[in-house]
Amino acid sequence: MPEAKPYIREFERLGFGMFIHWGLYSQMARGEWIMKLQGIPREEYRRLQNTFTADDFDARAIARLARRAGMKYIVLTARHHEGFSLFDTKGLSDYDSVHSPAARDLIAEFAEGCRAEGIVPFFYHTTLDWYQENYKDDFDSYLRYLQQSVELLCTHYGKIGGMWFDGNWDKPEADWREDELYGMIRRMQPEAIIVNNSGLHRQGGYGHPEIDSVTFEQGRPQPMDRKGKSKYVAAEMCQTMGAFWGYSGSDFAFKSPKELIEHLCACRKVGANYLLNIGLTGTGSVAKLQEAMLETVGEWLRVFAPAVYATTPCGIAGHGEDFGLAGEDGKLYFFVHRLSAAGDWNVTVPSGGVGPRTYTGVRKKIRSVRWLDNGEELAFVQDADKDLFSFQATGYPYGIDYVVRVAVAVVEE
Ligand code: GLC
């Protein structure tokens, strides 16, 4: 198996990131595809630029929220399919935030706000474009515009975590001249992660050899098969918190904190990052529900952080969703799902089993196991010949339900 380059391994260690969709569409509060799906003519749609104030956009506060949520990076839509840029395009186009009532370079604020909070900034950039007319009739000149735009993002905002492209699926047969685009990024930002979303229908699909991570848009990430590959490529699953990426004022389809925690664990199970989306409102604020969700997931992460970031899959499998990870600290981490509460059946709703949890693939001799949250020591047995390791999962103390609970094992050197 190919070795992961250090900057790719660093990306995997980030583990959990925030995706932010924000653009002119946010003012309509009906998702980011509203222009296309409602067939709004370009000239009519572009009037949204005249009311784009960004009055409530506070990049530092958003980065702080991400940090509190346990997220280590943010991917912000510098330009989405609608074609409007949140950065100063320096004459490439006047369809950008400096030519709106906001009159600010929001990407500059974003990069700065992230760094102040220890968060790594990434830029999402659309490759398809509903605004640029040459996207349809002069693809060469469009590609030049795209490259120049990306070059601005790679040269004016300090060191970035990566570029996250999306839209090549719109013209699968076209020559996107990816060599040139990625080559330029490598020159300007040698350690930037390059992603190009393979889309809903090609989850986990490999693309151009310069790509550093595959995507699992709205999916359950699958284990990566890296045998015979010339390069180690990371994996990331991006997901909406409600039904849409762009802000909607009529979205009642939100996932629960329970589901978000389960998705995060499902990603880490296969070594993938989890990129969880919020849609900012038209003025750039974070909606209360989304904020509360992030705070809640962050509380879970404050308890279980050692199991989530500096850990990698190592072939330990349990029953159902259960699995184990190897920590860079030399410890093993066992993830336990559907654990029920200890106590009185009249007041606790049982969600799964209390009792032995068994795992295969534990290659080291275990010395002790305890819950990561309260340090309680757990009884265990290990049968190396049968490749079985099993510990007694005691139930949640009454009043607590972590959804997924993690036990940490100390192993013999
Ligand atoms: C899709 C959508 C887009 C969204 C993206 C996020 O490709 O076209 O609106 O930004 O997924 O993964």
- pLDDT tens, 305-358? 999 999 999 999 999 999 999 999 999 999 999 998 776 656 555 556 888 999
C-beta of 32 in contact with ligand 1 (< 6 A) = yes
Task: Name which residue sits closest to atom 12 of ligand 1, judged by CA.
Answer: 217
For residue 246, which atom of ligand 1 is closest to its CA?
9
C-beta of 82 in contact with ligand 1 (< 6 A) = no
| Structure-token pair, residue 132 | 């640029």
The span from the CA of 111 to the CA of 120, in Å, is 8
CA of 345 to the centre of ligand 1 (A): 45
C-beta of 236 in contact with ligand 1 (< 6 A) = no
pLDDT in tens, 30-84: 999 999 999 999 999 999 999 999 999 999 999 999 999 999 999 999 999 999 9
pLDDT for 352: 65
pLDDT in tens, 195-235: 999 888 888 888 899 999 999 989 878 898 888 899 999 99
CA of 89 to the centre of ligand 1 (A): 22
User: Which residues partner with 126 through β-bridges?
Assistant: 166
C-beta of 238 in contact with ligand 1 (< 6 A) = yes
- Cβ atoms 56, 287 nearer than 8 A: no
Can you list the domains of the chain with their CATH numbers? 6-309 (3.20.20.80), 312-411 (2.60.40.1180)
What is the pTM (predicted TM-score) of this model?
A: 0.97
CA of 166 to the centre of ligand 1 (A): 7
For residue 215, which atom of ligand 1 is closest to its CA?
12
The span from the CA of 276 to the CA of 217, in Å, is 11
Residues in the chain: 413
Strand 16-21 versus strand 273-279 pairing type: parallel
User: What sections of 26-90 are H helices per DSSP?
Assistant: 34-37, 42-45, 59-68
C-beta of 88 in contact with ligand 1 (< 6 A) = no
Residue identified by tokens 């196991």 is 369
